[in-house]
Amino acid sequence: MVHSKTILSLTSDMLANGGFSHLTDDQISALHHLILRLKEPLTTIQQNLLLTFWSNADAANLPAALLYRCNTVLHQYGRHPITELYAEMEID
């Protein structure tokens, strides 16, 4: 399995790169404060809480390398990958 430090660090990177910019200010603030309060090593509950935030991330703003690393972690946990929330639709 993945080290909890990786999950915490990738969550911080996603936050810094706008992966959660579509969330409300209150939700972003809650995530930011959660990250600041967490101590290594993370418990399974804490890891799952952060991975739940990942489920709400938007790939549109994330650098490809970061998105790849995050999706690799999600795959190892049997979760769905992060995708773009709003895909462009072609209108005829």
86 within domain boundaries: no
Distance between first and last Cα of the chain = 46
Q: What is the mean pLDDT of residues 48-66?
A: 93
Query: Does residue 38 sit within a domain?
Result: yes
Structural domain boundaries enclosing 25: 4-76
- Report if residue 71 sits inside a domain: yes
| pLDDT tens by residue, 14-33 | 999 999 999 999 999 999 99
Cα(11)–Cα(7) distance, integer angstroms: 6
User: What's the burial of 65, exposed, middle or buried (CB within 10 Å: 0-12/13-18/19+)?
Assistant: exposed
pTM of the model as a whole? 0.86
Domain count, the chain: 1
The answer to the question of residue 91 being in a domain is: no
Average pLDDT of every residue of the chain: 89
| Tokens found for residue 14 | 């996603």
CB atoms within 10 A of CB 91: 4
Q: Is residue 82 part of a domain?
A: no
